[in-house]
Amino acid sequence: MDGNSTPTSIVTIDDLTNSQIEDVLDLAAEIDRDRDAFYGVASRRIMASLFLEPSTRTRGSFESAMNRLGGRTITTTDARSSSMAKGESLADTVRIWSGYADLLVIRHPWEGAARLAAEYSDVPVINAGDGGHEHPTQTLLDLYTLRNEYKTLEGLRIAICGDLKNSRTVHSLVYALIRFGAEIIFVPAQGLELPDHVRNKMETVYDRRIERVDPGALQALYGADLGEAENAAKVDALYITPSQPHLRAMYEEGAKIEIQLQDGRPLAIYVTRQQVERGSDLSEESGAARAYPRINASTMSGSDFSKSIIMHPLPRVDELSPDMDSDHRSKYFVQARNGVPVRMALISLILGLKPWGARSMAQPSSATAGQVIPQTDYIRCATPDCVTQKEAQNARAEFTFFRQPVVRFVCAYCEREVKPGYFARPRGAVYYPIDQFLYPSWDASDSLFFTDVNDAEALGLRPALIAARAEPLAVEVTR
């Protein structure tokens, strides 16, 4: 994301600044007030729906949005009937379809597929879900729903329940909520906790940490279980935003809990289904499956939830009971239909048919961009479903480098981490273990990194003699 320009493609929610997100939601609200006034905005424009993974809901929402704007849609929905079945690369597919349309909306099973698409497309690309990576337009409609209910995006309090591991919806949403200073309570099913790469991104990019909370304390905190009784143990993490210093100051053990209980802020509850198609299989862990966080009229009967709203990206299976459907707090169907105005707004902005707002385009000040390490030959992303694995010939081996709190390389596509074991200084004759790479003055971009020590040896490098150092290099680093 470039801090002072408007985005050409939306691959992740971070492709939009906070003010750009507000622009999208403001325009969506305007559309909601008089939808017919926007018919014709996208006249003569064609949106191609490339849904190379099963989906109907998101595609339907995008196509409704484009039609509501008076634009046209062309669709391909089945990987099996596509040219890809004849052996075509995703890069070629995207190059071709970008000649057919003014906008590509792509869903794909590979992580990072949308970024690859954006690189090869001549027209804007919107990510409609790329494997387990991100689903930024779902996040936009989630934020729109929250803002409509609470009149602000700032400092929300939200519990996110269920499959936090494989729900791309959750990942995009968490990043956005953090950027707007939300307090997030993670309530994962056992074994489906928020994955390390998301936690690490929270720490390195947004400087936010997750604190583990005693279940009993949490129950005391919110006055009610988020789920059935036996599920209380699943409430394993509480994220507290440091962007609210008056709150952070209070967070010194027990005391904070009392404060939270009394502040009276409502708690939004975001429920997700088990992502069976991405490997979230709890079938053998019968106890865990039984303990999947489920929301129903009974769990929502406490007075603490009187100002709550219930959200769900849908489709649901059995984690959200139909007995909540007519409850005034249930917003999941409203949320789903919010997708249309939100996507109308995003399409209008991304195609330049409506202007972005005049407000600052800057990133939230707390974001750390990392350092881009382009085109390295000796480290590779290890995520099996990453587009860099699936289509190595067309994806760049590009990584973003963070030194704090640990040395991390993040794949530019799937944003998952790879930890190379060794590095060498430019024009040096030796290689070091990666945990020695912590001098603040060293520039990652001119160093060499190696996953396999043999690659270093093959370049004629020798292991550095560092055992005699009195203190590890790492202690010299200051934050």
Q: Which parts of this chain interact with a second copy (CB under 8 A)?
A: 36, 39, 44, 46, 48, 54-57, 59-61, 63-64, 67-68, 70, 72-78, 80-88, 91-93, 95-97, 99-101, 273, 276-277, 314-318, 322, 333, 336-337, 339-340, 393-394
Specify the residue, 333 or 439, whose C-beta has the smaller distance to a second copy.
333
CB of 101 to a second copy, least distance (A): 6
Token pair for 35: 């939808």
* Pairwise CA distance, residues 196 & 202, whole Å: 10
* Pairwise CA distance, residues 177 & 429, whole Å: 46
CB of 21 to a second copy, least distance (A): 22
Contact 196, 186 (CB under 8 A): no
CB of 316 to a second copy, least distance (A): 7
Query: Could you identify the residue written with the tokens 């507000």?
Result: 22
Token pair for 22: 């507000």
How are beta strands 430-433 and 422-424 bridged, if at all? Answer: antiparallel
CB of 185 to a second copy, least distance (A): 26
Specify the residue, 127 or 275, whose C-beta has the smaller distance to a second copy.
275
CB of 85 to a second copy, least distance (A): 6
CB of 328 to a second copy, least distance (A): 16
CB of 63 to a second copy, least distance (A): 4
Specify the residue, 79 or 430, whose C-beta has the smaller distance to a second copy.
79
Specify the residue, 131 or 370, whose C-beta has the smaller distance to a second copy.
131
Provide long-range contacts, Cβ within 8 A and 24+ apart, for 152-156.
153/21, 153/22, 153/25, 153/180, 154/180, 154/181, 155/180, 155/181, 155/182, 155/183, 155/241, 155/244, 155/265, 156/180, 156/182, 156/183, 156/268
Which of 248, 219, 243, 249 minimizes the C-alpha distance to 231?
Answer: 219
Specify the residue, 14 or 53, whose C-beta has the smaller distance to a second copy.
53
CB of 320 to a second copy, least distance (A): 10
Specify the residue, 57 or 248, whose C-beta has the smaller distance to a second copy.
57
Token pair for 135: 């689903």
CB of 297 to a second copy, least distance (A): 14
CB of 35 to a second copy, least distance (A): 9
Positive or negative, the CA dihedral 350, 351, 354, 360 is positive
Specify the residue, 57 or 290, whose C-beta has the smaller distance to a second copy.
57
Task: Please provide the DSSP assignment of 240-254 as one string.
Answer: --TTSHHHHHH-STT
Cα→Cα distances 286→72, 281, 283, 291, 294, Å: 47, 10, 6, 8, 15
DSSP assignment, residue 297? T
Which 3-state string (H, E, C) describes 53-88?
CCCCHHHHHHHHHHHHCCCEEEEECCHHHCHHHHCC
Specify the residue, 86 or 479, whose C-beta has the smaller distance to a second copy.
86
Helices 332-350 and 57-68 meet at what angle, rounded to 10?
Answer: 50
Specify the residue, 80 or 328, whose C-beta has the smaller distance to a second copy.
80
Specify the residue, 88 or 258, whose C-beta has the smaller distance to a second copy.
88
Token pair for 440: 């603040």
* Pairwise CA distance, residues 179 & 365, whole Å: 9
